[in-house]
Structure 1
Amino acid sequence: MTDHTIRRAGRFALAMALATTALTGAAFAQDCTTKIGAVLPTSVDWGKPIAETAQFVVDQVNEAGGVQGCKIEMILRDTQVDPKVGVDAAKALVDLDGVQVLIGAVSSGVSMPILTSVTVPAGVAQFSCCSSSGAFTALAKEGKTKGLWFRTFATSNVQAVVGAKVAKDKGYKSVAVLYKNDDWGQDIGKLVAEHLQAQGITVTASVAINDAQPSYRAEVTEALAGQPEAVYLALYPTEGISAVREWLSLGGTQNMILANSLKSDEFRDAVGLQYLGSTQGTDTSSPRVASADAFVASYKARFNAEPNGPGLANSYDATMIALLAMEAAGKDAKGADIAAAVARVTDPAGTPVTADAAGFAAARDVLAGGGTVLYRGATGNVRFDENGDVSAPAVIWSFTETGTQEDTYITLEEVDALVGGSN
């Protein structure tokens, strides 16, 4: 073999090696695996897309090379929106699988016992997409979350004040409140009653609804006694369907105001669209910014559907921020280190990064150089306060034959003004 041939062969080998590296660079994380846990209600119709969105993030991060050179495996367990089931699932993920990050849960009534009895005692970072109870804020202020708790969903106060706005705008003079008898329901039920009264609207009754009862006739009869012009419902679909059927059968008004927990095809179909013509619901919303639009586009490309269900953008951001924090915290980081690193990936002065595989790869480079990043996500530029809370814009929506439609968008500044005006 001549020197020229040898040199040419060497250049060819080098080129092939570089090409192979380029092609497999995004897959180098296959040599090791890091597990994270997710406790989400996949057995209910609105819970499965939340879990699928979290997995979408994991897939994107693995496409970008994983976290600290390792592929991420998300172990998903169904909570069934049941506190005991959720706690058992979380314990298995922490004790048996050794996860340092837990995504979830959805219901505040499930997230709270997981936080207090599993993640905080074990020092595991917990990121929730969809738990809004003010009880978490109070717990954090007392130092009992140990900085391990973050949620990308605004507190119940946002929906409560917007629910009162709906009642005022429609001219209702009296409203009954039916709320789920758990941490979330008790919180939002109390808040909406306060905001309604602040608007000069009479709250004729505030009635708790328990899970899995064969009938809600007694509770509905109690709520109807004051002959309210409207009813506010802070329930989940299972008990919401039963309670509303009782409500309508006993002559209750079709003027209904719904929390986002009833933003469900299951609820609409079971009750019947013909009875929901006067119904409006509330929800928090992503800001009208480019990063939120980019999430909608990427979601549609992945799932061939609009991200119309509750908590999807929040699920995306909770999962991506958790994985960015794991990258920032370093290899084999513990939960407390990961929680502490959240500030490095949500830094208003940091390098902006997008919510996708390319954005994660760019963040990795910045973090490796000792810098910080500003994550621009599906819900905008996410910023947590000292209690792990965020605020958000809101929407008022109504049901259609194929899903829901947005009736009114309320900016973050308008939400803050509503909250301030009700205090």
Structure 2
Amino acid sequence: MTRPLKTASLAPALAPALALGVAVLANAAAAQSCSVRIGGIFPTSLDWGRPIAETAQFAVDQVNEAGGVNGCNVELMLRDSQNDPKVGVDAAKALVDLDRVKLLLGAVGSGVSMPILTTVAVPAGIPEFSCCSAATAFTALAEEGKTRGLWFRTYPTTDVQAAVTAKIVKDQGLGKVAIFYKNDDWGQDYGKLLAGYLEGLGITVTGSVAINAAQPSYRAEVTSAMSGAPEGIVGLLYPTEGSVLIREWLSLGGSQRMVFSNSLRSDDFREAVGAKYLTEAVGMDNAAPRVPSADAFVTSYTERFGSEPNGPGLPNSYDAAMIALLAMQAAGPEASGADIAAAVAKVTDPAGTPVTADTAGFAQAREVLAGGGNVRYQGATGDVVFDQNGDVAAPAVMWKFTETGTEEISYIPQEEVRALLGSH
């Protein structure tokens, strides 16, 4: 259940806040007379995927509290991708052909998002907003004009992830590492880029081992990686296969010096392996800039769900949903998918009127847009600005596991991240 927003205690701000509240309630009531559908393709059957979908729903709920999009209540039609390409494509086709959605949120894994984009979204002229797909193949596709401007992601590319991961490996003093990577578009891209960055830093990659999903055992892969006598490993995996593989790695005497991708920043993974075996493990994650809007998201998320956001892609999911809905508002009620995609620039304009990522911010954005202005969305990941390929940049953090979750060790500013790129 969505909790009510806290009202400001300052007297000068009270009257306008009350006026805005009345307007929001009036708009919300009017929005019940019509509805508009958007699609969400997330791995909701997986423990780590469900919160990503719930965070997107959170953004939808806030927009509906503000009166909906163009006076209509927004329905988020969720379908489970199971993080499987075929299942994801079938889900996308159903959302577009049967549910007649205006846009798609998702998917999560690059290996699921790519076939959805190329076989469903682009042919149908439907924009796709992904929270978590990082493969650089999307950038190449956009540069070739094959995304038709319909692709946006609020998540940095694997090039960013690889550069930061290599820095963390070096900072940990590891000179020889083996890489385990998920055998999909994301993992293959990440693993290849990471190997290049590590070699550029003088770090030996003793082996890069592809890991397929849903295997009961990875003993052969672990044994292969051990043959190179690495000092530690890098795990570019999801919690499901990661839990099985890391338990086998440790049971066969593998080093506890491990560096993980942000996809393993998961309570399920920590509990499955055991926190006591992860005391020497660290990981990378993309981070929000140290700005008030990111702090505000943590506060509102905690009010909604009872705990701070802890897991991959949560702020990115919120921003993807909110930006998509703002673009729908800017494009107008009869807009095509191409119109919605084109309107993204109007709601992420660095020179636009700043609006907050919440119910009041959406209501304010509607007024600014109705007056012919542009807005600058300030969200859970800061001021989101897409380049011509639908990509974003972001700072990063190094983190470690604790008994109850994860804890940030250090913050890597966006300027430093940019300096790391292209160094291999």
Please report the TM-score for the alignment, with normalisation by the length of structure 1. 0.93
Letter in 1 for 2:344: V
Deviations 1:345-391 (A, max 9, x none): 01111111111111111111111111111111111110000000001
Residue 31 of structure 1 aligns to a residue in which SS? coil
Structure 1: how far apart are the matches of 2:172 and 2:24? Answer: 60
Count residues with an aligned counterpart. 404
Deviations 1:232-283 (A, max 9, x none): 0101111111111221122211111000111111111111112111100110
Tell me the CA shift for residue 193 of structure 1. Answer: 0.8
Structure 1: how far apart are the matches of 2:81 and 2:126? Answer: 18
Structure 2: how far apart are the matches of 1:246 and 1:281? Answer: 19
Q: What does residue 348 of structure 1 align with?
A: 350
The answer to whether the Cα contact below 8 Å between 1:396 and 1:407 also exists between their aligned partners in 2 is yes
Structure 2: how far apart are the matches of 1:264 and 1:178? Answer: 17
- Give runs of aligned pairs for residues 185-196 of structure 1, distance below 5 A: 185-196=187-198
Letter in 2 for 1:137: T
Tell me the CA shift for residue 25 of structure 1. Answer: 3.2
Structure 1: how far apart are the matches of 2:336 and 2:27? Answer: 26
The answer to whether the Cα contact below 8 Å between 2:27 and 2:68 also exists between their aligned partners in 1 is no
Q: What does residue 30 of structure 2 align with?
A: 28
Structure 1: how far apart are the matches of 2:405 and 2:352? Answer: 38
Structure 2: how far apart are the matches of 1:22 and 1:182? Answer: 44
Q: What does residue 105 of structure 2 align with?
A: 103
Structure 2: how far apart are the matches of 1:124 and 1:387? Answer: 16
Equivalent residue for 1:308, pick from 307, 310, 313:
310
Structure 2: how far apart are the matches of 1:223 and 1:264? Answer: 24
Residue 32 of structure 2 aligns to a residue in which SS? helix
Structure 2: how far apart are the matches of 1:305 and 1:245? Answer: 28
Structure 1: how far apart are the matches of 2:360 and 2:58? Answer: 14
Letter in 2 for 1:74: L
CA shift in 2, pair 1:269/1:329, >3 Å = same
CA shift in 2, pair 1:146/1:22, >3 Å = closer
- Give runs of aligned pairs for residues 342-421 of structure 1, distance below 5 A: 342-420=344-422
Structure 1: how far apart are the matches of 2:370 and 2:26? Answer: 20
Q: What does residue 262 of structure 1 align with?
A: 264
- Give runs of aligned pairs for residues 20-419 of structure 1, distance below 5 A: 23-419=25-421
The answer to whether the Cα contact below 8 Å between 2:107 and 2:130 also exists between their aligned partners in 1 is yes
Letter in 1 for 2:395: P
Structure 2: how far apart are the matches of 1:118 and 1:199? Answer: 41
Tell me the CA shift for residue 47 of structure 1. Answer: 1.1
Residue 75 of structure 1 aligns to a residue in which SS? strand
Query: Can you give the 5+ residue segments of structure 1 that lack an aligned partner in the other structure?
Result: 1-18
CA shift in 2, pair 1:96/1:411, >3 Å = same
Letter in 2 for 1:224: M
Letter in 2 for 1:222: S
Tell me the CA shift for residue 26 of structure 1. Answer: 2.6
Residue 44 of structure 1 aligns to a residue in which SS? coil
Tell me the CA shift for residue 209 of structure 1. Answer: 0.6
The answer to whether the Cα contact below 8 Å between 2:376 and 2:383 also exists between their aligned partners in 1 is yes
Letter in 1 for 2:94: A
CA shift in 2, pair 1:70/1:392, >3 Å = same
The answer to whether the Cα contact below 8 Å between 2:24 and 2:65 also exists between their aligned partners in 1 is no
Identity of aligned residues (%): 69
Query: Can you give the 5+ residue segments of structure 2 that lack an aligned partner in the other structure?
Result: 1-20
Structure 2: how far apart are the matches of 1:116 and 1:22? Answer: 38
Residue 138 of structure 2 aligns to a residue in which SS? helix
Letter in 2 for 1:416: R
The answer to whether the Cα contact below 8 Å between 1:27 and 1:62 also exists between their aligned partners in 2 is no
Please report the TM-score for the alignment, with normalisation by the length of structure 2. 0.93
The answer to whether the Cα contact below 8 Å between 1:105 and 1:111 also exists between their aligned partners in 2 is yes
CA shift in 2, pair 1:24/1:204, >3 Å = same
Structure 2: how far apart are the matches of 1:418 and 1:25? Answer: 47
Q: Please, which moves more after superposition, 139-148 or 43-52?
A: 43-52
Structure 1: how far apart are the matches of 2:200 and 2:163? Answer: 10
Q: Please, which moves more after superposition, 183-192 or 165-174?
A: 165-174
CA shift in 2, pair 1:67/1:216, >3 Å = same
Tell me the CA shift for residue 308 of structure 1. Answer: 1.6
Deviations 1:16-73 (A, max 9, x none): xxx9988533321000000000001111112111111111111111111110110000
Structure 2: how far apart are the matches of 1:25 and 1:388? Answer: 31
Residue 113 of structure 1 aligns to a residue in which SS? helix
Structure 1: how far apart are the matches of 2:25 and 2:290? Answer: 36
Q: Which has the larger radius of gyration?
A: 1
The answer to whether the Cα contact below 8 Å between 1:64 and 1:358 also exists between their aligned partners in 2 is yes
Structure 1: how far apart are the matches of 2:27 and 2:237? Answer: 47
Tell me the CA shift for residue 304 of structure 1. Answer: 1.3
